[in-house]
Amino acid sequence: MLFLVVLAGLMLTGFRGYSQWKSYIIGPKGDTLNTVDKLDHRQGRWVNHFDEVRGEPGYEEEGIYKDDRKEGTWRLYSLQGDLTGVEFYKWGFKDGVCQYFGMNGSLQREESWRALNPDKLYDTLQVEDVEHLDQYKTVIVKNEGIGLKDGVWKYYDPFTGMVARTETYSLGKLAKSGSSTAAAAPPQTSTKPKEVLDFEKKAGKKKVKVQDGSVY
């Protein structure tokens, strides 16, 4: 009798837990993914799948949603399961340095972004002077509801693994750009980025098999 009471309690707890979601799917490890709450907001860990479109390769991405906005670290994978990018989000926009990799795991480019709080009409930011590094000025920016390119973007030579070109942005505007003679250097064995090495240590691919858990 006691066993039946405990079992009923566990079932009731699980039902209450899932009843807060409008829909969800179950991952291969039994974890809850792609949850949508009663307000149609995406919450928690998600895996998004995108098919090939007009010659652009398909990919998958996984990360966390908070109140329908991307938050924290998001990882991108080819449809073959290879890590192709690591992005960082704040308030649903890219924020910080994002990295993208080639099929052999080499670093292709680094992008630098600044997220603005979409809940504010204007945002006050500290901006570094691109002509005088380590010198900052305070600016007030109107929030257009987008992330801004901000900082140094680096493009890497696929043969040498060294920086071939840079672009420096300040709050969405290109401040300066330049090429590097490093691209002309003789080929050398480049070390794969830490994110790629960590990924390759893990067994299996990132293709996610799920079960539909719709609770409409």
Q: Is residue 192 in a domain? A: yes
Q: Is residue 167 in a domain? A: yes
190 has pLDDT over 70: no
pLDDT at 9: 39
Reported as a pLDDT band with limits 50, 70 and 90, residue 182 is low
168 close to 151: Cβ distance less than 8 angstroms? yes
Q: Which domain holds residue 65?
A: 23-115+147-202
CATH number at residue 159: 3.90.930
Q: Is residue 2 in a domain? A: no
Q: Is residue 121 in a domain? A: no
- pLDDT tens-digit readout, 118-148: 888 887 777 777 676 677 778 788 877 788 9
Q: Is residue 135 in a domain? A: no
Contacts of 127 (CB under 8 A, 6+ apart): 136, 137, 138, 139, 150, 170, 171
Q: Is residue 13 in a domain? A: no
Q: Is residue 210 in a domain? A: no
- Give the count of domains, the chain: 1
- pLDDT tens-digit readout, 36-57: 999 999 999 999 999 999 989 9
SS (H, E, C) the chain: CHHHHHHHHHHHHHHHHHHCEEEEEECCCCCEEEEEECCCCEEEEEEEEECCECCECCEEEEEEEECCEEEEEEEEEECCCCEEEEEEEECCEECEEEEEECCCCCEEEEEEEECCCCCCCEEEEEEEECCEEEEEEEEEEECCCCCEECEEEEEECCCCCCEEEEEEEECCEEEEEEECHHHHCCCCCCCCCHHHHHHHHCCCCCCCCCEECCCC
Across the range 203-210, mean pLDDT stands at 51
What are residue 190's phi and psi, to 5 degrees?
-100, 145
- pLDDT tens-digit readout, 52-72: 999 899 999 999 999 999 999
Q: What are the residues facing 86 on neighbouring strands?
A: 75, 99
pLDDT at 44: 97
**Of 151-160, 170-179, 206-215, minimum mean pLDDT range:** 206-215
Across the range 191-202, mean pLDDT stands at 75
Taking alpha carbons only, the member of 82, 81, 115 closest to residue 98 is: 115
Residue where the block lists tokens 């691919």? 205
98 close to 84: Cβ distance less than 8 angstroms? no
Q: Is residue 67 in a domain? A: yes
CA distance 62 to 39: 22
